[in-house]
Amino acid sequence: MHDGREREALSMMRVFSGPSHPELAKGICAHLGVPLSPIHYQRFSDDCLYIQLGETVRNHDVFIVQTISAPTSDHLIELFMMLDIARSAGARSVHAVIPYFSYARSDKKDAPRISITARLMADLIVQSGAQHVMTMTLHSPQVHGFFSVPTDHLTALPCFVDHFKKRDLRSTVVVSPDIGHAKRASKLASALGGLPMAAGNKVRVSDTEVVMRDWVGSRPRGVEHALIFDDEIANGGTMFEAIRALKEEGVRRFTVACTHGIFSGQAIERFAAMPEIEEIVTTDTVAIPEGKRLPNMTILSVAGVFAEAIRCNAMGRSVGKLFAFWPEDEPGQPGLGQAE
């Protein structure tokens, strides 16, 4: 009976992918056992977009997968259009699956005459037709509350736990380069058997430059290896400053980990020139082109996390775990998304 209900729910599902990351969408569909529905794009000579969903959505549950990476504005407009199409074509429900929500950095008014763009984009996503949003590891967790529809804020922590449990973590300290994200690093350290954890007190000088002033809590002194864990790496300024400060404490080997591997500017070139970095671990919330994939880079898939969240929503199952903090006494539940 349960299998029959699930088959019926899956048969009423339509999953479409925007052009930002079709490979992740295919992975999600593979986990769900449903086809990725076709979609047609065209750009006119005046640069206007034309989008058509290639399959009926009337009275179906529509899930639109679109990560908001560069070119950010194009991918946002595409998302708005796809949501609007699904709503106006009579979909029973419309779900925006946004693995990386780039504007989450713009969460407050910290200068005169600027936009709180994260709130603006959340409003536009809802106004376009989204009745439910799924995203992962928002840079500013309070952005979760900017959406006026149910929002599942997922974490990739089970993927990282599974990966690092296979590594030799003797003489390792888990480091958060930003005190604001120390809770995530603390949960990872706990799930990896109670590793020591340190957090840096950084000051941002500009978009590309940060300064590490001091350490909060335990100083990362007397350890050989640091696992530096952050939500995202863009130009890498925070990571490079953390590595510099950790070297002053005597650390000589490094592993760099993040959920969203943006690697903008000269980040990849700078990482490639640092032999002390043994491994760079990220996920596939953002498509990473071959030219940015270093030999020591590992890309973990979050397709299973999103697929399980989609399955729970389609089946009307409880998603209580999605809104619970990572259970430190129950580490490593592969394939389950949990809210941060």
pLDDT band, residue 77 (cuts 50/70/90): very high
Which pTM was predicted?
A: 0.91
Known catalytic residue at 202: yes
Active-site hit among 183, 202, 247, 321: 202
> How confident is the model over 240-250, as pLDDT tens digits?
999 998 998 89
Q: What is the pLDDT of residue 193?
A: 92
Q: What is the pLDDT of residue 209?
A: 65
Confidence band of 206 (pLDDT split at 50, 70, 90): low
**Is the model's pLDDT at 340 over the cut of 80?**
no
Average pLDDT across the chain, whole number: 89
What mean pLDDT comes out for the span 16-43? 97
Q: What is the pLDDT of residues 81-97, one digit of tens each?
A: 999 999 999 999 999 99
d(CA 330, CA 325): 11
Could you please state the CATH topology (level 3) that the domain comprising 158-300 is classified under. Rossmann fold (3.40.50)
Domain ranges within the chain, ordered by starting residue: 2-154, 158-300
- Measured between alpha carbons, how far is residue 53 from residues 40, 109, 126, 127, 165 in Å? 6, 37, 19, 19, 42
Q: What is the pLDDT of residue 200?
A: 84
Q: Which CATH class is domain 2-154?
A: alpha beta
User: Strand, coil or helix: what is 24?
Assistant: helix
- At 48 the pLDDT is 95
Burial degree of 255 (CB within 10 A; 0-12, 13-18, 19+): buried
Using the predicted structure, report yes or no on whether residue 324 has a pLDDT greater than 80: no
Tell me what pLDDT residue 215 has: 82
pLDDT, tens digit, for every residue of 138-151?
Answer: 988 889 999 999 99
Q: Which residue has the tokens 């590490």?
A: 212
- Would you state the structure tokens that stand for residue 117, as one six-digit string? 């763009």
Fold match between domain 2-154 and domain 158-300: yes
